[in-house]
Structure 1
Amino acid sequence: MRPDIAYAVSVVSQFMHSPSEDHMGAVMHILRYLKVTPRKGLMFCKYGHIDVEGYTDADWAGSVTDRRSTSEYYTFVGGNLVTWRNKKQKVVYRSSAEAEYRGMTQGVCELLWLRRLLRDLGFRPQKPMDLYCDNKIAIAIAHNPVQHDHTKHIEVDRHFVKEKLDAEIISFPFISSEYQLVDVLTKAVSTTIFLNSLDKLGMRDIFAPT
């Protein structure tokens, strides 16, 4: 799936068993967008490194039907987008920190998989993998094992992430919301933000002359 339609497809797919006219209208809107952008795709470039990094976020209680949050992440290898995902969480979390932390855990799992894949291909990571997050409380929970008020429903995730932090396999740099790339996987955004985000993700006219 193309990352530029991932959010829209994830929303309409939740109603595929009983779609309304509004849902079908949204599907037609997606198809019209694809029709006018058939040449758009991911362009992979050489940046001189094979660093593994990711961006993670969560739309806390974003679903109006069941108030579940949606977590999402992007992962990059060598500066190029390689995987992305947004998925509704199975549990209704009572705070944004819990929802964000659950999303962070999923991002960590994806980065660890990429790290193992690169090692199998003969590449060894030279530094911890950065997973950028815009929630300071979630980052604090990852670093501080004594956060009982915030971790009631994420105890296993907390120990899993802390283990990777202590081993210096992963790190969680804070990034302000204005530089958070995964907003296009989380919610509807303005055309300007949408196009700027796609440019940063490496989406280009793949048939354009170089």
Structure 2
Amino acid sequence: MELPHGFDNGRKEGKVCKLRKSLYGLKQSPRAWFERFTKTIMMHGYTQAQSNHTLFYHHNDGKVTILIVYADDIIVTRNDPMEMEQLKEKLAIEFETKDLGPLRYFLGMEVAGNKSGISVSQRKCILDILKEAGMLGCKPVDTPMDLIKKIGQQKESTPIDTGRYQHLVGKLIYLSHTRPNIAFAVGSIDDRRSTSGYCTFMWGNLVTWRSKKQTIVARSSAKAEFHAIANGMCELLWLKQLLREIGVKEEMPMKMYCDNR
């Protein structure tokens, strides 16, 4: 970053210029943008959820409008069409906006909805990974790689591109957010830590899920199970608070099931 033309005359060593606004690319810019958006949306009567600070909601005569913000992308859901149109007009006054219509694609996930429910997939993301790896025509196998094979072990083999390999593994780790069944395959098996997994359902619909390696080395299978149960319980408590904030009434107590015998 350099001083604009006309400001470099008479500059002294050890002196800096103070920015009066955030610039694109600075590490402070995302926070500054979110603070401004939060201030603007709350001025229009929306409340910031305590369970998720990127979620805002507005209640009006039994109807609710909910916003979820990720960087400069916004998802809006509601059962009040009039409030939604008013919200679009208000945001268009403060920010440069673009209405992309019904949700179809978000953060690498494809979203499809109909009367029976909503489905989420990452088909496009998977195809992009296969194309990048040159494996579009490959056939699926149960074990993609020999567990005891050391990459680059043979002297006559092609040199391994470490950066490209790590890049592809990183994409697979991101993919595991919606495909928890591959979380174990893309994790390290040398640290002796167990993998916890849980999923939560509301009215028969899957709403949250997670599969993640534990931060501790459990010295027994029972301890690993209890650690996973604790994580699942924290998720239930968080979900309970979120539902209360957006106005969803609790009809029945939450139940937790564990596959430990």
Q: Specify if TM > 0.5.
A: no
TM-score relative to the length of structure 2: 0.30
Q: Which has the larger radius of gyration?
A: 2
Question: Of Structure 1 and Structure 2, which has the larger fraction of its residues in helix?
Answer: 1
TM-score (norm 1): 0.37
**Higher relative contact order (CA closer than 8 Å, sequence separation 6+):** 1
